[in-house]
């Protein structure tokens, strides 16, 4: 009788890779014979998401690392997209290159991360740094601009600030604006926020705080109060949505589509 237990990890981002490596490294010799750790990811690469803004700005030309360079060698990788979770029979359905696979599991680690920016009117007119492909497309759009064009970065968190500053350093001939729905880097103490603002001012980045973008056009972004800011290229670096996997699997989710923590039990962990 096969007594091997399978731990399936959905998603090879920071949380998924860290979980796989720590779990595999913690096993005793006996446990390794009885446990299989399987990582499922759409690509055979780890995407270094904290570098995606640099990819878009053109200050780096790579933000991926082969999974076999970052994963414990005993972790099995299946390249494919998980399309459904079947908790009633402890299985996941994977859309792989050779066709659909149903992988049974004893424990599932759900580490899917976040995806596209939230839907707002005209949102398709903006670019994003939420995924590797989107960051590449944003970078290509930046390279098509001409001196004097304006880039508007939407999002006053760390990604937005890094995106705006990288763009300003790499493209001093461009007009860069950063729009934040609330205070810039609101989690930082006042002294830290003041320093960041002074740095952005030195880089000639125009900062607009406490103004929410409600509409994106090819030529402008519109703020909640009706004000419009000219934009030749808009890059979304604000909040992002979660993948639809949990909802598509008829699991309990919150209003934003995030897996309800109440669902998590001994068969499923959230990463």
Please, what is the average pLDDT of the chain?
89
Question: Do the domains 5-113+242-270 and 123-236 sit in the same CATH topology, yes or no?
Answer: yes
> For the domain with range 5-113+242-270, which CATH number is right: 3.40.50.620, 3.40.640.10, 3.20.20.150, 3.50.50.60?
3.50.50.60
How much is the pLDDT for 264?
A: 44
Give the closest residue to 55 by CA, choosing from 156, 159, 188: 159
How much is the pLDDT for 258?
A: 72
How much is the pLDDT for 4?
A: 85
Residue 240 reports pLDDT greater than 80: no
Count Cα atoms within 13 angstroms, Cβ side, for 85: 28
Q: How far apart are CA 183 and CA 173, in angstroms?
A: 27
pTM: 0.82
Question: Could you read off the pLDDT of 98-149 as tens digits, one per residue?
Answer: 899 999 999 999 998 776 666 788 888 899 888 899 999 999 999 999 999 9
- Phi and psi torsions of 125, nearest 5°: -80, -10
Q: Show me where the domains of the chain are located.
A: 5-113+242-270, 123-236
CB atoms under 10 Å from CB of 35, counted, come to 19
CATH number of 123-236: 3.50.50.60
Question: Could you read off the pLDDT of 64-87 as tens digits, one per residue?
Answer: 999 999 999 999 999 999 999 998
How much is the pLDDT for 265?
A: 43
How much is the pLDDT for 1?
A: 46
Helix then strand then coil, % of the chain, to nearest 5: 30, 30, 40
Question: Could you read off the pLDDT of 196-206 as tens digits, one per residue?
Answer: 999 999 999 99
């Amino acid at each position: 009788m096969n007594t091997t237990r399978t731990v399936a990890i959905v998603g090879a981002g920071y949380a998924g890779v860290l979980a796989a490596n720590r779990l595999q490294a913690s096993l005793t010799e006996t446990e390794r014979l009885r446990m299989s750790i399987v990582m499922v990811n759409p690509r055979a690469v780890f995407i270094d998401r904290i570098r995606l803004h640099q990819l878009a700005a053109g200050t780096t030309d790579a933000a991926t690392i082969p999974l076999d360079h970052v994963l414990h060698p005993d972790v099995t990788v299946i390249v494919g997209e998980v399309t459904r979770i079947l908790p009633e029979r402890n299985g996941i359905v994977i859309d792989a290159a050779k066709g659909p696979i149903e992988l049974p599991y004893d424990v599932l680690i759900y580490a899917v991360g976040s995806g596209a920016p939230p839907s707002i009117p005209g949102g398709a007119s903006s670019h994003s740094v939420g995924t590797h492909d989107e960051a590449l497309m944003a970078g290509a759009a930046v390279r098509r601009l001409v001196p004097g064009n304006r880039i508007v970065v939407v999002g006053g968190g760390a990604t937005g600030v890094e995106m705006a500053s990288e763009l300003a350093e790499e493209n001093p001939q461009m007009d860069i604006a950063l729009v934040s729905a609330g205070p810039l880097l609101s989690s930082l103490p006042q002294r830290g926020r003041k320093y960041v603002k002074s740095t952005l001012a030195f880089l000639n980045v125009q900062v607009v705080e406490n103004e929410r973008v409600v509409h994106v056009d090819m030529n402008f972004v519109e703020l909640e109060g009706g004000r419009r800011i000219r934009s030749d290229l808009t890059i979304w670096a604000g909040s992002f949505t979660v993948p639809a996997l949990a909802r598509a699997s008829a699991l309990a989710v919150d209003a934003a589509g995030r897996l309800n923590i109440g669902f998590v039990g001994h068969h499923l962990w959230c990463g």
